[in-house]
């Protein structure tokens, strides 16, 4: 019976040993375990941004102990603590340096954005015991922040707080965690050298003990419908209540045609019109009127006026530049659009989508010419959305012009309903003051319905817009010169004709009419 009992005990001992061996966490070495499990509680996400330190101590040397970290609030394979004393004959007897590397077991499957304006913070609960030295041993620890297999930053903490907690923080430059990477931590310290078996340390693990907070940015949430299609179509082409209309356009060929016609009037007039009273004045007024009204005035209103905008000015932004920008901490978008930044948006256009907002017109720009950028998956989605949300609607009729220059600045706006503050362009500010009236600034929030889905846009107020390429009103007055020239020409021909008839009557009608004058009239008629 005794032999049988010893056999049972031996078998039980083997089973216990095998169980301990099997429960040593392999995830500490195989860091790809949670990559594709987006719903795994161990994965680092915006909602699971705290990572906990876990580990497992054995009877072997502490250098062989397994340590790891992830975002789950429990781990059945982890001990609550790891500790060493100075027991004679123990594998971990004696003092000296100790270092534990807590590498992440669940690297992210896709790049994860980090707000690097917020530090990585955390806590290490470590009790270093040196009673024989009357607590005079060093309690300094070194904490190293890791990302993937590389060290990012290091901090030395001389003393813990009264509860033996070491609190740390790291500011880092990283804007994202690359796919297949995650954060880790290395903790190094000195174990006291003592003959007191109770001297050593206790490293507490798990929630409420040892952890670090990663400033993960909130996941991207689309706010503008109609931008996820493989082929870009302007939202306004699909929006109810918007109709496509042609804007004022002036072609180079038109300039050339009317310019040549005006010059031709001068040349042909002097070559073919016979000598009549007020000939020179008639030709001058007619040709000059055509040149000014059809060529000079449109050129001044169009190309020359548009040329006054310097596209190389760093504070003048085009739509293609805005599309390529992405979110940045402490900025509206990109790096330049921080609070109080003054800038201009310059857009040339041929067509606009028109709608009515009460008694006022709303102009929407489709930006079809930038379709390749909207379709490019490498272009930041936030830039695409912000162009549509803030810079595609204008609370003004843009049809008379060829371009628009909108001036604005970045302000801190507080939503009166939610109380949330955010950086926005001036025209979208919820609590700003109108610089002209001194009253409350009125943002023009327009609801655009695309495919049955509503989307709110911020239309740029007309007081911030300058329409460029509007037909010059003074150009119409030049038509009067043309009319005056034709009138003088008609009077001249009438006077010449009456004078010619008078000569015929005085001569009794015997002489033939002036052949040169008749030939000139024929040539003019053919021309």
- Residues 167, 172, 176, CA angle at the centre, nearest 5°? 120
d(CA 408, CA 56): 59
Q: Is 70 exceeded by the pLDDT of residue 87?
A: yes
d(CA 334, CA 167): 33
Give CATH for domain 25-213.
2.60.120
d(CA 45, CA 168): 21
d(CA 186, CA 171): 16
Question: How many CA atoms, within 13 angstroms, populate the side-chain half-sphere of residue 305?
Answer: 21
Give the residue among 513, 492, 511, 498 at the shortest CA–CA distance from 275. Answer: 492
Q: Which helix (H) or strand (E) holds 481?
A: helix 478-506
Q: Is 90 exceeded by the pLDDT of residue 31?
A: no
Q: Is 80 exceeded by the pLDDT of residue 52?
A: yes
d(CA 222, CA 495): 77
Query: pLDDT tier at 27 (50, 70, 90 boundaries)?
Result: very low
Contact predicate 14/30, CB 8 Å: no
Query: pLDDT tier at 2 (50, 70, 90 boundaries)?
Result: very low
- The position carrying tokens 């310097």 is 310
Give the residue among 59, 167, 54, 62 at the shortest CA–CA distance from 106. Answer: 54
Q: What is the DSSP string of 6-52?
A: HHHHHHHHHHHHHHHHHTS-GGGT-TTTTTT-TT-TTS--SSS-EEE
Structure tokens at 411: 């302000």
Residue 30 confidence (pLDDT): 42
Domain layout of the chain by residue ranges:
25-213, 235-246+314-468, 252-303+471-526
Residues 6+ apart with CB under 8 A from 480: 289
Residue 496 confidence (pLDDT): 64
d(CA 143, CA 123): 10
Residue 29 confidence (pLDDT): 38
Give the residue among 347, 334, 362 at the shortest CA–CA distance from 462. Answer: 362
Mean pLDDT of the chain: 79
Average pLDDT of the segment spanning 11-30:
38
Question: pLDDT digit string (tens) for 280-328?
Answer: 666 665 655 555 555 554 655 555 455 566 777 889 899 999 999 988 8
Q: How far is CA 25 from CA 14, 50, 203, 207, 465, in A?
A: 20, 21, 18, 18, 64
């Amino acid at each position: 019976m005794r032999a049988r009992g010893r056999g049972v005990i031996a078998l039980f001992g083997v089973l216990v040993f095998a169980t301990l061996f099997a429960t040593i966490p392999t995830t500490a070495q195989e860091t790809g375990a949670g990559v594709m499990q987006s719903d795994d509680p161990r994965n680092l996400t915006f909602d699971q941004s705290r990572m906990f330190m876990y580990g497992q101590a054995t009877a072997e040397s502490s250098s062989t102990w397994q340590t790891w970290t992830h975002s789950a609030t429990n781990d059945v394979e982890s001990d609550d603590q790891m500790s060493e004393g100075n027991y004679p004959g123990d594998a971990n007897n004696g003092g000296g340096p100790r270092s534990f590397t807590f590498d992440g077991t669940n690297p992210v499957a896709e790049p994860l954005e980090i707000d690097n304006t917020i530090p990585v913070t955390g806590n290490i609960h470590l009790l270093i015991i040196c009673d024989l030295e009357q607590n005079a041993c060093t309690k300094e620890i070194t904490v190293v922040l890791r990302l993937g297999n590389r060290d990012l930053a290091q901090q030395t903490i001389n003393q813990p707080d009264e509860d033996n907690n070491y609190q740390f923080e790291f500011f880092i430059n990283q804007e994202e965690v690359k796919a297949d990477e995650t954060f880790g931590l290395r903790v190094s310290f000195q174990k006291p050298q003592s003959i007191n078996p109770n001297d050593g340390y206790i490293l507490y693990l798990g929630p409420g003990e040892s952890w670090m907070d990663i400033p993960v940015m909130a996941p991207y949430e689309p706010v503008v419908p109609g931008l996820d299609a493989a082929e870009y179509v302007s939202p306004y082409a699909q929006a109810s209540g918007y109709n496509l209309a042609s804007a004022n356009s002036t072609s180079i060929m038109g300039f050339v045609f009317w310019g040549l016609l005006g010059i031709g009037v001068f040349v042909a007039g002097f070559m073919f019109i016979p000598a009549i009273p007020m000939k020179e004045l008639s030709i001058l007024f007619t040709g000059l009127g055509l040149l000014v009204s059809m060529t000079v005035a449109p050129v001044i209103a169009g190309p020359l006026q548009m040329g006054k905008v310097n596209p190389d000015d760093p504070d003048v932004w085009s739509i293609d530049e805005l599309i390529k920008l992405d979110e940045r901490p402490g900025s509206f978008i990109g790096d330049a659009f921080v609070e109080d930044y003054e800038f201009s948006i310059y857009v040339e256009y041929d067509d606009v989508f028109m709608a009515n907002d009460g008694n006022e017109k709303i102009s929407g720009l489709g930006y079809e010419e930038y379709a390749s950028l909207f379709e490019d998956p490498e272009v930041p989605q936030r830039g695409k959305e912000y162009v549509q949300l803030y810079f595609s609607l204008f609370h003004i009729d843009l049809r008379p012009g060829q371009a628009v220059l909108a001036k604005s600045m970045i302000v801190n706006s507080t939503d009166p309903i939610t109380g949330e503050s955010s950086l926005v362009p001036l025209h979208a500010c919820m609590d700003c003051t109108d610089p002209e009236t001194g009253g409350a600034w009125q943002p023009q929030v327009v609801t655009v319905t695309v495919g049955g889905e509503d989307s709110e846009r911020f239309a740029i107020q007309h007081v911030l817009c300058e329409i460029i390429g509007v037909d010059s009103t003074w150009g119409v007055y030049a038509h009067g010169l043309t009319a005056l020239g034709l009138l003088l020409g008609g009077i001249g021909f009438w006077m010449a004709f009456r004078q010619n008839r008078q000569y015929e009557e005085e001569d009794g009608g015997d002489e033939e009419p002036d052949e040169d004058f008749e030939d000139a009239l024929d040539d003019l008629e053919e021309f």
